[in-house]
Amino acid sequence: MALAAALYFENSVSSLILQAISLHLHRTNMNYSAAFFSFIFLFLTTYAFAQPDTDSVLNELSNTIEHTESYHSQKLERIGQLKDRLQKRNISALQRFELYNKLTDEYAAFKYDSAFTYARKLQAQARALEDPVLPVYAKTKLGFILVSSGMFKESLDSLKTINVSQMPDSIKARYFSLMARAYYDLADYNSDFYYSDVHTAQGNRYIDSVLALQDTGTAAYYSTSAFKNYKTGNLEAAEKDVAYLLKNFRQSYHDQAIAAALLGLIYKDMGEKEKAIRYLAIASIADIKSATTEAIALMNLAELLYNTGDESRAYEYIKQALEDATFYGARQRKIQVAAILPIIEGERLITVEGQRTRLVVYALVVTLLSVLVLVFAFIIFRQLKQLRQAKRTVTEANTQLQEVNESLVEANRIKEEYIGYSFNMYSEYIDKMEKFKKALDKKLMAKKYDEINHVMKSLNLKKEREALYLSFDRIFLKLFPNFIAAFNSLFDEENRVVSKDDQALTIEQRIFALLRIGIKDHEQIARILEYSVSTIYNYKTKAKNRSLLPNEEFEKRVMEIKAF
């Protein structure tokens, strides 16, 4: 929560930095036209003061998420243009510094590793220019990138080496704001009663230093004041500061988005959930449209929607937040999102499970064929139970890790694919059952009893089961595209069993595919594939005997085949 507010505070002083380097850099025109900026300002101002319906804002957010890639493409196009200018000959050292500075700004809230790279290049170029201000300015840029990525120790170590005593006030203000943000973020990250208070107190001292350097009545002053009031619990004063800032100052799209996010957090702490949801949604829309992936408005919005019972949207938004955090590369953000995602997923699964139970009960009353549905429902229940157990294990592991590792990404992907697969298959069978019931009801209403048997024969259970197997094969090969090749590599050429369809598994491969996704009960595998337990054992034994590996190593190697 404080991280978003801190980001708002840090961006608010960026205009002061331009004053510090204005004698050295000839700024180019804005990337966006005046008409586009006016549209942005009108958009946010309308949302801020007309109080639109929250549902309409959330619907717009969902629609904006669907077009995320197009906004990223626009960002990458601007970045490409800057890189092309870097390749031109005869550009001066000062022009190269300016281009590095712009590239750092473009990547700063978009992708950490690239931002870090260009911040280092900016430092090197600053040292080549004969100006004592520019190296300090470049180092604060690097400090901002490190803080944003969650590298608190590294950022503080770097920032503490800066001596700003002889620097302009604008550089001092930026430096003090970065120190404040670093300590505030560190306090939130530690979540320890003693050390959090110590870090927060340090942050408070630095923010007071920033206020002392700013002129009252400026946008920077109001933004800093809003943040200070928010951190000290004076929420009403913070609300007034942000509202005044939005109404009276024309800021960039990104800065207005940060202001909206801070206002959302203020309303959240005030207990005004409706307003908090509205402003966090506005901030999230702006973040996506400005290709900002280093932001947590969407994560806070998902958590708030979950707490208010809107699980569907919460799940949609937390998944997008995780994609953004993974794309940007912020370590602490991935851990924060990964801690919330299983909770929302769990609640969503409980809701789905309740709906499934009611449908199964109704299906059992309709016809004897629902027994087949019950079997699949039992299989789904067992799979979901295993997935929930895996999710709990991942969640516990996340509390001990500082970053999400490769196994977490794989587990999340498998869970999402199989939950969707299982739910879709189940829905299809419910639809077929409902159509079958309607056909029976129609015959009964028309008293055409002799035609009921014809309706019963219209169901081809063998064909349905084959379709189920083919559907399973396709979803499994989507998750494990190298499974067939990896499996066949365990045999010599003459002992390999090759399927005629590269999208389908052989019976032998299907047995080991079920084992690979965690279904290790041979009786359960036998029920799924309609074989006896002894047949399953025979297939496994024959495969092990044909393989190039010792029997005790074969199954272990199959389980090591990687997903996607």
Q: What is the pLDDT of residues 232-259, one digit of tens each?
A: 889 999 899 988 888 888 877 778 888 8
Say if residue 413 is in the same domain as residue 474.
no
Helix, strand, coil: what percent of the chain each, to 5? 80, 0, 20
**Can you state the angle between helices 273-289 and 34-50, rounded to 10 degrees?**
170
Write down the pLDDT at residue 25.
Answer: 36
* Angle of helix 273-289 versus helix 297-307 axis, rounded to 10: 150
478 and 546 share one domain:
yes
Residue listed under structure tokens 């005030």: 270
Residue 308 has pLDDT above 50, yes or no: yes
Rounded to 5 degrees, what are φ and ψ at 547? -75, 165
Q: Which of 449, 477, 495 is the last residue of a domain?
A: 449
Distance CA(3)–CA(231), nearest Å, equals 11
Asked if residue 558 and residue 477 are part of one domain, the reply reads: yes
Q: What was the pLDDT predicted at 76?
A: 94
How crowded is the C-beta side of 505, counted as CA atoms within 13 Å? 29
Predicted confidence band at 66 (pLDDT cuts at 50, 70, 90)?
A: very high
Q: Which residues 6+ apart lie within 8 Å of 155 measured at CB?
A: 143, 146, 147, 178, 182
Helices 406-445 and 311-328, interaxial angle, to 10°? 150
pLDDT-derived band at 154, boundaries 50, 70, 90: confident
Does 478 share its domain with 397? no
Model pLDDT, residue 28: 32
- Cα distance between residue 127 and residue 130, in whole Å: 7
> 382 with 347, same domain?
yes
E strands, 202-319, in order: none
Least confident of 142-146, 269-273, 284-288, 499-503: 499-503
Amino acid letter, 176 = F
In this prediction, what percent of the chain has a pLDDT beyond 70?
A: 74
Nearest to 302 by CA among 362, 342, 262: 342
Is there a domain that residue 198 lies in? no
| Rounded mean pLDDT, 132-139 | 91
Same domain, 426 and 467: no
Same domain? For 408 and 490 the reply is no
Residue 523 lies in a domain: yes
Tokens of 368: 């004897």
Decide which of 177 and 465 is more confident: 177
For residues 268 and 411, the model is more confident at 268
d(CA 316, CA 128): 48
Residue 228 placed within a domain: no
- Could you read off the pLDDT of 509-538 as tens digits, one per residue? 888 888 888 888 889 888 888 889 999 999
Q: Examine the domain organization and report whether 389 and 485 are in the same domain.
A: no
Q: How confident is the model at residue 279 (pLDDT cuts 50, 70, 90)?
A: very high
Nearest one of 145, 163, 164, 166 to 154, comparing CA atoms: 145
Q: What is the largest CA-CA distance in the chain?
A: 99
Q: Which domain holds residue 378?
A: 340-449
Q: What is the CA radius of gyration of the chain?
A: 29
| Number of neighbouring beta carbons within 10 Å of residue 552 | 8
- Identify the H or E element spanning 516: helix 507-516
Q: Are residues 432 and 474 in the same domain?
A: no
Alpha carbon distance 247, 51 (integer Å): 14
∠ at Cα 547 (543, 551), nearest 5°? 80
SS (H, E, C) 424-460: HHHHHHHHHHHHHHHHHHHHHHCCCHHHHHHHHHCCC
- Of the candidates 495, 496, 514, 527, which has an alpha carbon nearest to the alpha carbon of residue 555? 514
Tell which wins on pLDDT, 406 or 469: 469
Q: What is the predicted pLDDT for the residue at 162?
A: 87
**Same structural domain, 464 and 434:** no
Q: Is the pLDDT of residue 35 over 60?
A: no
The number of residues in the chain equals 564
Nearest-angstrom CA–CA distance, 396 and 21: 48
- Between residues 424 and 22, the one the model is more confident about: 424
- How many structural domains are present in the chain? 2
Choosing from 449, 468, 499, the residue where a domain stops is: 449
Mean pLDDT of the chain: 78
Q: Could you tell me the pLDDT band of residue 423, with boundaries at 50, 70 and 90? A: low
Residue 2 pLDDT more than 50? no
Per-residue pLDDT band at 409 (split at 50, 70, 90): low
Tell how far CA 527 is from the center of its chain. Answer: 38
Per-residue CA distances from 61 to 20, 67, 232, 310 (Å): 37, 10, 31, 15
Residue 509 CB coordination number (10 Å): 24
Q: For residue 435, is it within any domain?
A: yes
The answer to whether the beta carbons of residues 114 and 107 sit under 8 Å apart is yes
* pLDDT at res. 493: 87
Alpha-carbon gap, residue 563 to 315, rounded angstroms:
23
Q: How far apart are CA 385 and CA 524, in angstroms?
A: 14
Taking the C-alpha atoms of residue 204 and residue 42, their distance in angstroms, rounded to an integer, is: 34
526 domain residue, yes or no? yes
Q: What distances in angstroms separate CA 142 from CA 7, 108, 333, one per listed residue?
A: 15, 10, 19
- Give the end of a domain, one of 416, 449, 482: 449
d(C-alpha 324, C-alpha 148), whole Å: 13
> Residue 408: its pLDDT value, please?
58
- Among 29-43, 258-272, 447-461, 516-530, the range with the most confident prediction by mean pLDDT is 258-272
Q: What is the pLDDT of residue 215?
A: 86
Residues 357, 432 within the same domain: yes
For CA atoms 25, 28, 32, 34, give the dihedral sign: positive
Residue 141 lies inside a defined structural domain of this protein:
no
More confident residue, 118 or 351: 118
468 plus 524 within the same structural domain = yes
Residues 6+ apart with CB under 8 A from 563: 410, 413, 414, 479, 480
pLDDT per position as a tens digit, 363-401: 777 777 777 778 777 787 777 787 788 777 777 766 666
Tell me if 210 sits within 8 A of 173, measured CB to CB: yes
d(CA 325, CA 322): 5
Quick one: which of 327, 391, 387 has its CA closest to 353? 387
**For 317-367, what is each residue's pLDDT tens digit?**
888 888 888 888 766 666 666 666 666 666 556 665 655 666 677 677 777
Question: Above 60 in pLDDT, residue 47?
Answer: no
Flag the least confident range among 119-133, 193-207, 343-357, 422-436.
Answer: 343-357
Instruction: Note whether 248 and 270 are within 8 A (CB).
Output: no
Query: Which tens digits make up the pLDDT trace of 456-480?
Result: 666 666 777 777 888 888 888 888 8
Q: Tell me, yes or no, whether 475 lies in a domain.
A: yes
Count of Cβ atoms closer than 10 Å to residue 554 Cβ: 20
Q: Count the Cβ atoms, other than its own, within 10 Å of residue 548.
A: 12
Tell me if 352 is assigned to some domain.
yes
